[in-house]
Amino acid sequence: MQLSPSLLLLALLHSVHGATVMAPAAQSTQFVTLDIVNGPVSPDGFTRIGVLANGTFPGPPIVATKGQTLVVKVNNKLTDNTMRRSTTINFDGVFIDADNVFNDGSPFVTQCPFGPGESYTYTLPLGEQTGTFWYHSQLSVQYSDGLRGTLVIYDPEDPLAHLYDVDDASTVLTVADWSHNSSVAGLASYISTLIIPVSDSGLFNAKGRYNGGPEVEYAAVSVAKGKRYRFRLINMSVRANFLISIDNHTMTIIEADGVATVPNEVNILTIFPGQRYSFVVNANQAVGNYWINAIIDSGNPAHNLNLNVTLSRGILRYEGAPNAEPTAPMGSGPTGAAAVPLNEYDLVPLDPIPAPEPDFRVTFDTFMPDLAPAMWEINNSSYVSPKVPTLVRVLEGDTSKFNQSENTFLFPANKTVEITILDTTDEGHPFHLHGMNFWVVKPNGTDVVNTVNPIRRDVSVTGDTNLTVRFRTDKPGPWFFHCHIFYHFAAGLGSVIGAGLDEVGKTVHPTEAWEDLCPAYNALPPSEQ
Ligand SMILES: *[C@@H]1O[C@H](CO)[C@@H](O)[C@H](O)[C@H]1NC(C)=O
Ligand SMILES: *[C@@H]1O[C@H](CO)[C@@H](O)[C@H](O)[C@H]1NC(C)=O
Ligand SMILES: *[C@@H]1O[C@H](CO)[C@@H](O)[C@H](O)[C@H]1NC(C)=O
Ligand SMILES: *[C@@H]1O[C@H](CO)[C@@H](O)[C@H](O)[C@H]1NC(C)=O
Ligand SMILES: *[C@@H]1O[C@H](CO)[C@@H](O)[C@H](O)[C@H]1NC(C)=O
Ligand SMILES: *[C@@H]1O[C@H](CO)[C@@H](O)[C@H](O)[C@H]1NC(C)=O
Ligand SMILES: *[C@@H]1O[C@H](CO)[C@@H](O)[C@H](O)[C@H]1NC(C)=O
Ligand SMILES: *[C@@H]1O[C@H](CO)[C@@H](O)[C@H](O)[C@H]1NC(C)=O
Ligand SMILES: *[C@@H]1O[C@H](CO)[C@@H](O)[C@H](O)[C@H]1NC(C)=O
Ligand SMILES: *[C@@H]1O[C@H](CO)[C@@H](O)[C@H](O)[C@H]1NC(C)=O
Ligand SMILES: *[C@@H]1O[C@H](CO)[C@@H](O)[C@H](O)[C@H]1NC(C)=O
Ligand SMILES: [Cu+2]
């Protein structure tokens, strides 16, 4: 960690959802370098070549403190032509300042990808934001090949700090689906067969097993009896949902996607791709080993006989317990009357902000015609990346006439938009908005509209009841709003919110390094794109 001398900033005004708050008086910079390389990786005992940050899966954890500016230099050193060789990185859930949309990392929306031998530096002032985030490749389904890592912004003044004793590197937990095949093959197979690739294994803290594979040692999380732990759980899945529980322990939710919540005690929760939760676990049971059940809960296992949902799990190990697996059977957590599940509509922000009344109301009808090639549609239009990134066009002054396939919906600046995603009876789609949070005024699973103290977050799932979210268009720019199941997204389930595009030329002034991205990308041979 490198800290630069503090910069005194004069009462900088910083707009959060229309409310004006003071930014911290002192700021420092957190410099991080990530080398993106191809290399062997075997989290479930099967060795494959991955696309990896610094050669590991997950990539190195990024940690920052409230008020810092995160500066991440990404060096593309990819050499393997069987996977995508260009890349862009998105820092999932991190708010992007109004003048900084060009650092959002969205390929063909806010930037051109950068190829082998090239570097790009993302500069992200973190402002007042704290909580649990992650980073991943945003290009195609490349993050399936391994380019994912955790990002935590610690809050030295956490209002919920009295609820836990430990919150450090050991309490950042990840679940992820893992495939032995490259994402390029997986995507081609999905488009031609309509069968979404089912992962070979589910990983808890980057360890897992598959049918017929070696008995990889499960990841153990160490706790001391009598202490309370703030676990930060990140779902880095491409496809899979996980059902999380810890034998004989409850979980008190205190954060959803970077938003502190009123404590809510449950014993089982579902976490969708892209989502994050913090929960407190009190190590108040007998010293021993307990299963952390991280059961993959989506996809048809018949489509990949390697996958055994029972085998994705970890161990909660008390200090003094033997270095062994729990003796309890490998279960899948509380069911029936014993289950106290997390309902999204029960989440209440610690700092509630009523949802503003919408100026615009639109609906999204998601749909996949039952015909190959697989193309998901929003209102009968599949998202296809344009050749020229949306932001490049906008900065050239061209803010109208987007191709239908760009699914770009335009709204004036400083308005409130409400989007209802009509019920999707087929399966849940975790919709993710870039750069800012939305208010989830009607989550799946209830018909009650809550505009008084709805949860704010950046990923919420559709289901068999409509999902309705609201957000502000205070930050001029094109912002991705897409399904976080990246196979669905790559097959068209994406859109761009064009917020106040007429204002972008006045507020957004990208760097020369950014200007150079598209000419460099367009000059690459297809094998390096
Ligand atoms: C990644 O690797 C580079 C090169 O070894 C190193 O300079 C950098 O500090 C590493 N990044 C992190 C976050 O550990
Ligand atoms: C992985 O690739 C192999 C070889 O192309 C193929 O036989 C297999 O079905 C693929 N597995 C999955 C889960 O798609
Ligand atoms: C992570 O998200 C995937 C995709 O929606 C989902 O199938 C999986 O259950 C989620 N994992 C957890 C722990 O909820
Ligand atoms: C854990 O819970 C199970 C099921 O309720 C119970 O049978 C078992 O005795 C408990 N184990 C411990 C160590 O308390
Ligand atoms: C999954 O693994 C468990 C434990 O090894 C085994 O008992 C079970 O038969 C496996 N299930 C499938 C569907 O292969
Ligand atoms: C999608 O189609 C519905 C039904 O025709 C329409 O009401 C809605 O406004 C459309 N949404 C958008 C974003 O155009
Ligand atoms: C999409 O197309 C289908 C089939 O042509 C049609 O029934 C449906 O009304 C259309 N939906 C929208 C929102 O335009
Ligand atoms: C516009 O979209 C259509 C398909 O929806 C595509 O065939 C065409 O190439 C696109 N045009 C441009 C300029 O991107
Ligand atoms: C939106 O609000 C910002 C900040 O208050 C202001 O600078 C800008 O001019 C407004 N834009 C429009 C189009 O109202
Ligand atoms: C949506 O909510 C219903 C309960 O009304 C639940 O059965 C379903 O599993 C939820 N869907 C998703 C994708 O979470
Ligand atoms: C979803 O929204 C549509 C359009 O507003 C409405 O017709 C439909 O009844 C809603 N469905 C549910 C289950 O709330
Ligand atoms: Cu989806």
In this structure, is residue 455 part of a structural domain? yes
Measured at the CA of 409, the angle between CA 408 and CA 410, to 5 degrees, comes to 115
Tell me the ligand closest to 383's alpha carbon.
Answer: 8
Write down the pLDDT at residue 301: 77
Q: Ligand 9 atom closest to Cα of 500?
A: 13
- Shared domain check, 512 and 377: yes
Task: Answer whether residue 153 is part of any domain.
Answer: yes
The residue out of 298, 320, 346 marking a domain boundary is 346
Same-domain pairing of 52 and 180: no
Tokens of 67: 């008020």
pLDDT for the residue numbered 25 = 39
Instruction: Taking residues 404-424, report their average pLDDT.
Output: 95
CA distance 449 to 24: 35
Is 258 a member of any domain? yes
Distance 129 CA to ligand 2 centre (A): 42
Does residue 52 lie in a domain region?
yes
Q: Which of 293, 296, 308 to mutate to test the pocket of ligand 5 (most atoms within 8 A of CB)?
A: 308
Residue 366 has pLDDT above 70, yes or no: yes
Boundary residue ending a domain (346, 372, 397): 346
Q: How many angstroms separate the CA atoms of 124 and 384, rounded?
A: 27
The pLDDT of residue 242 is 77
Task: Convert the pLDDT of each residue in 45-59 to its tens digit.
Answer: 999 999 999 999 999
pLDDT at residue 194, as a whole number: 83
Question: 195 and 305 share a domain?
Answer: yes
CATH number of 87's domain? 2.60.40.420
pLDDT of amino acid 240: 67
What average pLDDT does this structure show over 305-318?
A: 95
Q: Give the torsion sign (CA, 104, 58, 257, 360).
A: positive
Residue 166, in any domain of the structure: no
Determine the 3-state secondary structure of 255 from DSSP.
Answer: strand
Read off the pLDDT of residues 257-269 as tens digits, 9 standing for 90 and up: 999 999 999 999 9
Query: Which residue range(s) make up the domain with 468?
Result: 360-528
* 521 and 413 both lie in a single domain: yes
Average pLDDT over residues 371-393: 90
354 part of a folded domain: no
At 519, phi and psi to the nearest 5? Answer: -55, -40
pLDDT of res. 297: 74
- 311 and 371 belong to one structural domain: no
User: Is 351 inside any structural domain?
Assistant: no
**Position 93: which residue type?**
G
Mean pLDDT confidence for 439-454:
96
Each residue's pLDDT tens digit, 151-165? 999 999 999 999 999
Q: Please check the confidence at residue 16 and state whether its pLDDT lies above 60.
A: no
Higher model confidence: residue 65 or residue 426?
A: 65
Q: Are residues 276 and 387 in the same domain?
A: no
Rg, Å, the chain Cα set = 22
Q: How far is CA 39 from CA 138, 147, 204, 209, in A?
A: 20, 11, 21, 20
Distance 341 CA to ligand 3 centre (A): 15
Domain count, the chain: 3
Per-residue pLDDT at 10 exceeds 50? no
b/e 305-329 (16+ beta carbons within 10 angstroms → b): ebbbbbbbbbbbbbeebeeebbeee
At residue 367, the pLDDT reads 84
Q: Looking at residues 9-17, what average pLDDT do you find?
A: 30
Q: Which ligand is nearest to the CA of 449?
A: 11
Residues 20 and 152 occupy one common structural domain: yes
- pLDDT, one tens digit per residue, over 312-334 is 999 999 999 999 999 999 999 99
Mutate to test the pocket of ligand 4, among 247, 290, 291, 315 (most ligand atoms within 8 A of CB): 247
455 torsion bin: left (phi>0), alpha (psi -120 to 50), beta (else): beta
Residues 243 and 298 in one domain: yes
pLDDT at 13: 29
Is omega for the bond preceding 40 within 30 degrees of 0, making it cis? no
Q: Which of 127, 157, 187 is the last residue of a domain?
A: 157
Q: Is residue 439 part of a domain?
A: yes
* Same domain? 145 vs 276: no
Give the pLDDT score at 83: 96
| Better-predicted residue by pLDDT, 16 or 275 | 275
- Read off the pLDDT of each residue in 286-307 and give the average, rounded to a whole number: 89
Selection from 231, 234, 280, 275 nearest residue 440 by Cα: 275
Confidence at residue 18, expressed as pLDDT on a 0 to 100 scale = 31
Average pLDDT, the chain: 91
- Nearest Cα neighbor of 258 from 154, 142, 382 is 154
Q: How far is CA 221 from the centre of its chain?
A: 23
Residue 5 pLDDT exceeds 60: no
Q: Tell whether 113 and 242 lie within a shared domain.
A: no
> What does the pLDDT average to over 509-520?
97
The reply to whether ligand 10 has any atom less than 6 angstroms from the CB of 187 is no
Ligand that comes closest to the CA of residue 421: 11
Does position 246 have pLDDT exceeding 90, yes or no?
A: yes
The string of pLDDT tens digits covering residues 164-189 is 999 999 999 999 999 999 999 999 99
pLDDT of 374 > 80? The answer is no
pLDDT tens column, 461-514: 998 889 999 999 999 999 999 998 888 999 999 999 999 999 999 999 999 999
Which ligand has the nearest atom to the CA of 448?
11
Same domain, 303 and 426: no
Q: Does the pLDDT at position 21 exceed 70? A: no
How high is the pLDDT of residue 298? 66
Of the chain, the percentage scoring pLDDT greater than 90 comes to 82
- Ligand 3 centroid–CA 20 distance in Å is 35
Q: What is the reported pLDDT for 19?
A: 32
pLDDT of residue 11: 28
Top mutation candidate among 309, 310, 311, 332 for ligand 5, by most atoms within 8 Å of CB: 310
For residues 391 and 74, what is the distance between their CA atoms, to the nearest angstrom?
21
Residue nearest to atom 3 of ligand 2 (CA): 181
Residues 191 and 314 placed together within one structural domain of the fold: yes
Lowest-pLDDT range, 19-23, 106-110, 398-402?
19-23
- pLDDT of 9 > 50? The answer is no
- Confidence band, pLDDT 50/70/90 cuts, at residue 401: confident
